[in-house]
């Protein structure tokens, strides 16, 4: 029985590692990460965009569901809520998935993500924008950096007419993108949860 559990654990780990490697290799071209892999629209600094369908719900009901989702997925909705109208919500939150890897150590670089959620009857579009770095305090290694001084494209340099990410930032950049996609997909989990019958507790 123990050997069966061990085999299952190894199998799950292998599948997980393979799917992560497949995700990463889809972004890399010849082992390099290009600017077009990070931005879906580099002129507007759009990192990711997608549309969720909410069958048979009007915009007001969808808006309530999205606010419930945001309240569960972020520490404090009121702290990240930038604006709200009848047909859109704008959130600005900090993502801690981006990092630099140097001499075998990882240093987290916190990043602002602006999330624009546009709502219509039956659907909502989520657009994630690169809103720049979080303020970095001075340390013995750096003089510090003001908030929103850099964008993700700052970590790319031109080589043969294309913009390539520095090796020390590549994996952190991929992790940031995967984190944003995970945030977007978490809305689906909220939609499924809301389909469950009410247990009248």
Encode pLDDT of 105-159 as tens digits. 899 999 999 999 999 999 999 999 999 999 988 876 678 899 999 999 999 999 9
User: Over the stretch 17-53, which tens digit does the pLDDT of each residue have?
Assistant: 434 444 455 789 989 999 999 999 999 999 999 999 9
Q: Which residue has the higher pLDDT, 21 or 192?
A: 192
Residue whose entry in the numeric block shows the structure tokens 């965009």: 49
Which pLDDT score is estimated for 75?
86
**What average pLDDT does the structure give for the chain?**
86
Pairing of strands 105-108, 88-95: unpaired
User: Over the stretch 54-88, which tens digit does the pLDDT of each residue have?
Assistant: 988 999 999 999 999 999 999 899 999 999 999 99
CA nearest neighbour of 25 among 144, 178, 198, 128: 178
Q: Is the pLDDT of residue 1 over 60?
A: no
Residue whose entry in the numeric block shows the structure tokens 């009410």: 198
Position 191 confidence tier, pLDDT thresholds 50, 70, 90: low
Phi, psi for residue 34 in degrees, rounded to 5: -100, 155
Domain 32-190 has CATH 3.30.470.10: no
Contacts of 143 by beta carbon, 8 Å cutoff, 6+ apart: none
CA distance 125 to 187: 11
- Whether the predicted model's global pTM rises above the 0.95 cut: no
Which pLDDT score is estimated for 62?
95
Span 11-17, average pLDDT = 43
Q: Is the pLDDT of residue 167 over 80?
A: yes
């Amino acid at each position: 029985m123990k050997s069966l559990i061990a085999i299952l654990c190894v199998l799950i780990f292998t599948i997980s590692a393979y799917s992560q490697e497949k995700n990463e290799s889809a972004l890399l071209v010849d082992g390099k990460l290009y600017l077009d892999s990070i931005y879906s629209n580099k002129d507007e600094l759009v990192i990711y965009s997608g549309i969720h369908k909410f069958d048979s719900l009007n915009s007001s009901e969808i808006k309530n569901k999205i606010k419930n989702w945001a309240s569960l997925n972020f520490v404090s909705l009121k702290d990240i809520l930038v604006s709200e109208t009848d047909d859109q919500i704008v959130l600005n939150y900090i993502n801690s998935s981006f990092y630099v890897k140097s001499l075998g150590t990882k240093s987290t670089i916190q990043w602002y993500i602006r999330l624009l959620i546009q709502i219509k009857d039956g659907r909502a579009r989520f657009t994630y924008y690169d809103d720049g770095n979080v303020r970095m305090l001075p340390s013995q290694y750096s003089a510090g950096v003001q908030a929103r001084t850099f964008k993700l494209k700052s970590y790319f340099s031109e080589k043969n007419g294309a913009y390539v990410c520095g090796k020390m930032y590549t994996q952190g950049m991929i992790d940031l993108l995967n984190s944003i996609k995970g945030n977007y997909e978490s809305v689906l989990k909220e939609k499924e949860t809301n389909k469950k019958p009410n247990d009248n507790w």
